[in-house]
Amino acid sequence: MSSGKSEELIRRLRRATIARQKVIVFKPRIDNRTADTKIASRNGVLYEAIPISEISDINNHLTDDIKVIAFDEVQFFPKELIQCIRNLTASGHRVIAAGLDTDFRGHSFNIIAPLLAEADHVSKLDAVCMQCGGKATRSQRFINGKPAPFDAPQIVVGGDEIYEARCRTCHTVPHY
């Protein structure tokens, strides 16, 4: 959250385009924070993306000339994406995935650990803690201005209105 993940993804996609590699980007349909067919960085940079609901929808958009396949907000995709990525890399595609590694509780999203195990390269970005200014690696979720309790739903799509970057020390999760 606020670490520049989408910005870094867009930077890598632009480099691939400069290298004359055809790219395609997918985003989960539930991420409705920006235009339906775009991913966005916090600094306002947009990049074309295809929203999908089902992993099987990916194949409907692939052509032989596509070399780079990217996924934004990967934490919102189902675990079936892992086998899809295995198939894509086995067929010679370069795959780039961007997303959060942990939820508001500080626990890994179900897809993340196995996805990290598949990766040839991982770049973990951090943000600035909105409380102390330190290195933020957690997402603090708020409900009515208070930290979300442990038993709140794992996935709630939102931005700065309900989430804040926090360091381990400033991150709190009430156990109700």
Catalytic residues: 73
Q: Which residues contact 98 (CB under 8 A, 6 or more apart)?
A: 5, 6, 8, 9, 70, 71, 72, 73, 74
The DSSP symbol for 117 reads H
Beta-strand (E) ranges in 78-159?
Answer: 94-97, 127-128, 135-136, 138-143, 146-147
CA–CA distance, 17 with 13 (Å, rounded to integer): 6
Q: What is the amino acid identity at position 110?
A: N
HSE of 104, CA atoms in CB hemisphere, 13 A:
24
CB 98 within 8 A of CB 26: no
CB 67 within 8 A of CB 91: no
